[in-house]
Structure 1
Amino acid sequence: MPPASKGGGRSREEGFLFVPITHPSETKAWKKKVRSHAARNPKARQQRVAAYQKSTTPTEQSQIEDSPARPSIQSVRLWLVTTLKNGSRSGHTPLLAGSPVSMLGAARTDPFNAFVRRVTIQEQGLLDHFLRSMALLELIRLPEMEVMVQGERTAFCKMMTTYWVQSALADPGMLSLVLLWSMRHLATVREEGYNDPVMTMYKMETIRQLNATITREGNNISNLTMAKSLCLASDANLVGEPDVAEKHLKAVERMALLCTGGTKSAVGEGDESLNDLQMFFSENDLSPAHMAQVNLSFKSEESKRAGGVNRNMDYVIRPTRTPTRAA
């Protein structure tokens, strides 16, 4: 209860004071007056509408820069600076995780945030560009490599591109490699050069993840690990680092000897060098036909005569058989 007034007036008996403005029966008349007042001020109404549309509609330039189909180098660099400033302590980009109450991404590559880590809008654009382009075959810079495709080359490239992106779902190193190659391809098309900090970040992340994978796999090197090493060698040649490319190829030679039976070479016994590495690509493990064959030579013809071995490896893009357990 409110206290009584000091002037000796009447004290209010209720805690709420109702001030009637209009009678419910006069609602229609009041609405008519408000609409008439708004109609007499069209200029003010137009200004309010224009201000609202300007605040909600992005400019044409911002639409081009933020478009996930063709992200600019500047937009990706801005994302990198923001990520390093806000998310370095937590180890990941500080974005909302996918949930029933969060907005669904519009990108067709990863609308449900299924990748091994959350990808940004700019990275979704890079993934989309990688899927649409022929970057996988156009950026190969390995003079020692010969690619022979049985059938249409474009169809094989699309299948391998899809396989790469699918592998990036669970492999952080593969994800960084795909993003790196997508940016390399954009820079090649636009003739912008390769000296970009974002590219360097993706390359260093790929190398870091590759080292961790090699340590974890030991002598049982997987085909995907060797593929990433070959891609790093090709990327080194692309940016003009032949010495670095040679080191990556030496690592591939060592891994090929280990994972195909030359385990004794790890302690200085048995196979010491590799002549040729042949990789056969099949769509599934039920079809005996190969879609493509890649020959990678590690020695000249004269060096091959002095000794060395050849290795064959099979890559199955879409395995269908369930592996059986040993008894």
Structure 2
Amino acid sequence: MRRTLQAAAESFPIAGAFTISRGAKTTAEVVTCTISTSGMIGRGECVPYARYGESVPGVLSAIEDMRGMIEDGIGREDLARQMPAGAARNALDCALWDLEAKLSGIPTWQVISRDAPQKLVTAYTLSLGEPEAMQRQAAEHAWRPLLKVKVGTQDDAARIRAVRAGAPQSAIILDANEGWTPDNLAHHFALCAEARIALVEQPLPAGNDAALRDHARPIPVCADESVHRTQDIAKLADRYDAINIKLDKAGGLTEALALREAAREHGLRIMVGCMVGTSLGMAPAVLLAQGADFVDLDGPLLLARDREPGLHYKGSDVYPPEAALWG
């Protein structure tokens, strides 16, 4: 039976502001896609990211370009051949997964795993700011077992020490968002070791990270902007210890699952992350993150308003999605 495709832009307010080294924002701008047939509706959400040349109008246009193929019944594997990885394909791919689950009555988790999904401990993200403000943020959330901290300036020494002082017992991930340089790498790595940092994410710019190959890494280093597709893994395995898989980068759950397996084959640790979006965007990532070494799926916790129904969070625990939400 023929399908119907719809896509729309939505805006969700962030609680306060979310700041990284590239700037701050107060709303999460998402694109929601629905694919319907036989009385069933599949949904997917994506977050267009300017760092990758994406915008809300551009993503809506890319989805519209696929209307004929989607409504004629294209599958997920063919979709991956017809569209580049990115946010637009993610929304379509996840909507197709959701639709398949509803039509078949088989939950997505049963298709991708032998084991029922369990609750996960997610990181909670602290925005970039002045050291004193970041220490206050860390102290406020020191009860959480895992914090992710945005850094990425020319000298983050005071910030690293301030966050560790504020949350002395929490495991900490530092996300430099490509903000460090080969010249200050040793300085920052030494500070990370001193502060017992668990993981450093994307310290150098994508495409300019070769220095990591021959550089002593006293703490594990994770690729984010440097890795999008399975083909990226082989060339990164000699300079990173882990990869951050995000559905919006990979272009959906289908490619993300393949990316996860490729990373494991190369001995890399797995982190599953997210953009700042709603529970609809996080839901498939919760299934992807089962068994991951690090989980960063706190997007809805950063919002002033989430979807209803949304994912269930209890403290830093995030529970698998109910069928009413996705999958």
| Length-normalised TM-score, structure 2 | 0.24
In terms of fraction of residues, the more helix-rich structure is: 1
Larger Rg: 1
In terms of fraction of residues, the more strand-rich structure is: 2
| Length-normalised TM-score, structure 1 | 0.24
With a CA cutoff of 8 Å and minimum separation of 6, indicate the structure with the bigger relative contact order. 2
